[in-house]
Amino acid sequence: MATTATPTRDDFAAMLDESLGGAASGGFEGRVVKGTITAIEGDKAVIDVGLKSEGRVPLREFAMAGQPHGLSVGDEVEVYVDRVENADGEAMLSRDRARREAAWDKLENEFGEGKRVEGVIFGRVKGGFTVDLDGAVAFLPGSQVDIRPVRDVQPLMDIPQPFQILKMDRRRGNIVVSRRAVLEETRAEQRSGLIMNLAEGQIIDGVVKNITDYGAFVDLGGIDGLLHVTDMSYKRVNHPNEVINIGDTVKVQIIRINQDTQRISLGMKQLESDPWDGVAAKYPVGAKLKGTVTNITEYGAFIELEAGIEGLVHVSEMSWTKKNVHPGKIVSTSQEVDVLVLEVDSDKRRISLGLKQAVQNPWEAFADQHPVGSTVEGEVKNATEFGLFIGLDGDVDGMVHMSDIAWGISGEDALALHRKGEQVSAIVLDVDVEKERISLGMKQLEKGAPAAGVAASSSGLKKNQVVTVTVLEVRDGGLEVQAGDDGATGFIKRSDLGRDRDEQRPDRFQVGQKFDAMVTGFDRSKKPNFSVKARQMHEEKEAVEQYGSSDSGASLGDILGEALKGKK
C-alpha cells in the first residue's frame, strides 16, 4: 500500500482555489458569473454561484423598466461578483452590474456598426429623459425625442422602442441616444418611396397640417408638401387662413418635385382658369374702369379690377395737384375708385392704371372756365423772390411775376406789398396746360393799365416806335424802364443796350436816367420790350437810304455826318 503524504495548509488552499475557480485568491471578484436561484425570500433572491456562501440580490434588479421580475427557484441567472465574502460571510452579488457590463459590451459593438438599439424611456431628468438600454442607462435630450416638439411624453414611456446612439463613453459611463434620428431616417425612407409614386402636374388630395405666414403644409399621405400663399389663389391673399384652415381636405396640383431635397411644391390656383387669359382685349388701353383699392405702398396703390386681376396706380399717376404725397393720403383700402388703363403687359401680368386720368385735368378745366383776360380771385399761398403764388379754383396755383404786381415800382418793392394769406385779384395772362402753369397779372387791373388780351396799340405804343424811356431799376441782366412819365413799363436786355460791347453794361446807367429806345415787341402780358441797339441799327439804315448809296463812294461816317446835319 502506497503511502500518501499528508496535505499541508498550503496544499489545501491551492485545492480550494482550484475548486472555486480562483475565488480564494479573489479571481471571482469583478467578474460576471452564472448562478442558480435557490430561494426567494421576501424582496430578494438567494443565488448560489459556487462560492462557499450564497448571495442575496434584490428582485427589483431583475425587473425591466415597468415589467415584473418573473423569477422562480431553480432559474439560472448572471450576476456580477463585487466581493466573495462580506462582513456577514455572504457573497456580494449584483444583477444590475452584470446587466450593465453585458449591455456595455453589446452597445459598444452596435455603436461601432451604427446599428439601432432598443430601450425603454423610464424617467425624467433635467433637460431630457433616462432610457434603459437592457441594463445600461442612457440620456435622451428633450430635443431628440421627436421631429417636432412633444408636449406630453407620457405615452412614449415604459414601452420598448428603437434609439440611435449619438455618443458613448464607457469610462465615464455616459451614453446619449436619439429617438428623433430614428424617426427622421424612417421618414426619409418613407418619403423616398412615396415620392417615387408622385409626378409633377399630378392632382392629389391632401390634409392641411400646419399654416404659416408664407403658406401651408399639406399631408399627401405620409409626405408633406408646401402650398405657398402665392399659389393659393389668383386674387390677393394677405394670409393663408383667409383661404384654408388646419384639418381641411384640399385638392392640389404638384407643381415641382426636388429629388435632391425631397421637397414638394403644391398649388391650388393652378386648378382654376387663369383670369389673365385675354386680359389685353378685356382691358384695352384708355378704358375707364371701376376698381377697389386692395393694398397701399409707398410707390402706389393696387386696384382690384376683378377677382385675380389687379393693376397698379403709380404714385405719379394718382393726382394732378398733390405731388410728393404718400398714396395713403389720397386713397384708402377698400375704397372704390375710377381708373384709366394706361398699359397692359400680359406676359409680366401687369396692368398700369391712372387715377388722375379718370378726372379732367384741372388746368384744362381752369382754361375752359377762365380764358385769358378774365379776372380771378385767390389767396396768396406763397411769396418767393420772383413772384407770388395764388391759390385758384380746382386746387391749382397761378403765379404773378414780380414785374406784373404793380406799375411804376421795382419788383422787390411790389413783392413787399403783399403777404401770405392775403386775398387778391388778378387777370389771367396765360394758361399752359402741358406745363401745368398759369400766369397772372395784378398791375393790369390798375386804372389806365393795358388790359390783357387787348391789342398792343391800346397802351399807346407800337412796334418799331422810338420813345423816350426812364430807368426804373438797374439789374445785372438789363434795365427795367418806363415809357414817358407814367406810361407802360418794359425791360431792356443787356445785349440790347447798344451795338458795341462797351455799351452793353447796365452799370453805365442810373435810376432816373432818360434815353431813346425802340419798341421791339410785346410779351404775353402785352408788356413792351425796348432796345437801344435796334434803335441805333434803324437810324443807320435810314441814314444810308437817305444820304448815301452802295455806289456813291461815301463812307458810313460821311453818311452819318450828313444825317446829323439834316436833323439839326
Candidates 483, 485, 472; CA nearest to 512 is 472
CATH superfamily of 28-113: Nucleic acid-binding proteins (2.40.50.140)
Task: Please name the fold of domain 114-185.
Answer: OB fold (Dihydrolipoamide Acetyltransferase, E2P) (2.40.50)
Chain-centroid distance, C-alpha 234: 21
- Specify the DSSP element, H or E, that contains 98: helix 95-113
Residue 367 predicted with pLDDT over 90: no
Mean pLDDT of 524-552: 75
What's 274's DSSP letter?
-
Collapsed DSSP state (helix, strand, coil) of residue 456: helix
Cell of 342: 394706361
Read off the pLDDT of each residue in 11-33 and give the average, rounded to a whole number. 55
Collapse the DSSP code of 95 into the 3-class scheme (helix H, G, I; strand E, B; otherwise coil) and give the result. helix
Collapse the DSSP code of 271 into the 3-class scheme (helix H, G, I; strand E, B; otherwise coil) and give the result.
Answer: helix
Q: How far apart are CA 487 and CA 343, in angstroms?
A: 55
Domain boundaries 198-271, CATH class: mainly beta
pLDDT of residue 520: 86
Amino acid at 264: I
- Mean pLDDT computed over 205-229: 88
pLDDT of residue 53 exceeding 50, the answer is yes
Higher pLDDT, 83 or 373: 373
Pairing of strands 263-267, 288-297: unpaired
Cell of 84: 466573495
**pLDDT, tens digit, for every residue of 118-166?**
999 999 999 999 998 877 889 999 999 988 888 888 889 989 999 999 9
Residues 312 and 303: their CA atoms lie apart, in Å, by 6
CATH 2.40.50.140 domain range(s) in the chain:
28-113, 114-185, 198-271, 281-337, 362-445, 456-546
Of 433, 418, 412, which is closest to residue 367 (Cα–Cα)? Answer: 433
Contact assessment for residue 463 and residue 521, using Cβ atoms and an 8 Å cutoff: yes
**What's the CA gap between 218 and 248, in Å, rounded?**
9
Angle 511-516-519 (CA atoms, 0-180°, nearest 5)?
A: 105
Specify the pLDDT at position 219: 87
Calculate the dihedral angle through the C-alpha atoms of 406, 407, 408, 413, rounding to the nearest 10 degrees. Answer: 10
Domain boundaries 281-337, CATH class: mainly beta
Q: Which of 19-23, 89-93, 468-472, 556-560 has the lowest mean pLDDT?
A: 19-23
Assign residue 49 a region: left if phi > 0, alpha if psi is -120 to 50, beta otherwise?
alpha
C-alpha cell at 397: 396755383
**Average pLDDT over the chain, rounded to an integer:** 81
CA-CA distance, 374 to 363, in Å (whole number)? Answer: 15
Residue 494 has pLDDT above 80, yes or no: yes
Cα distances from 267 to residues 222, 255, 284, 469, in angstroms, run 18, 6, 30, 84
In the block, cell 385675354 appears at 278
Decide: 239 and 232 in contact? Cβ < 8 Å.
no
**Cell 397761378 sits at which residue?**
398
Grid coordinates representing 343? 398699359
**What's the mean pLDDT in 257-280?**
84
Q: Burial level of 75, CB count in 10 A (0-12/13-18/19+)?
A: middle
**Given this model, what pLDDT does residue 563 score?**
54
The CATH architecture annotation of domain 456-546 reads Beta Barrel (2.40)
Write down the pLDDT at residue 33. 76
Rounded CA separation 503/478 (Å)? 12
CATH code of domain 362-445: 2.40.50.140
Q: Is residue 553 over pLDDT 70?
A: no
Q: Who wins on pLDDT, 504 or 5?
A: 504
Residues 367 and 429: beta-carbon distance below 8 Å: no
Pick from 292, 455, 438: which is nearest to 369 by CA?
A: 438
Q: What is the pLDDT of residues 415-424, one digit of tens each?
A: 888 888 888 8
- Report the 3 state secondary structure along 475-495: CCCEEEEEECCCCCEEEEEHH
Alpha-carbon gap, residue 305 to 294, rounded angstroms:
10
CB 337 within 8 A of CB 379: no
Which of residues 110 and 92 earns the better pLDDT score?
Answer: 110
Within 10 angstroms of residue 502's Cβ, the number of other Cβ atoms is: 8
Residue count of the chain, please give it: 568
User: 3-class DSSP state for residue 21?
Assistant: coil
| φ and ψ at residue 143, rounded to 5 degrees | -75, -10
pLDDT at residue 525 is higher than 70: no
Residue 172: count of CB within 10 angstroms of its CB: 7
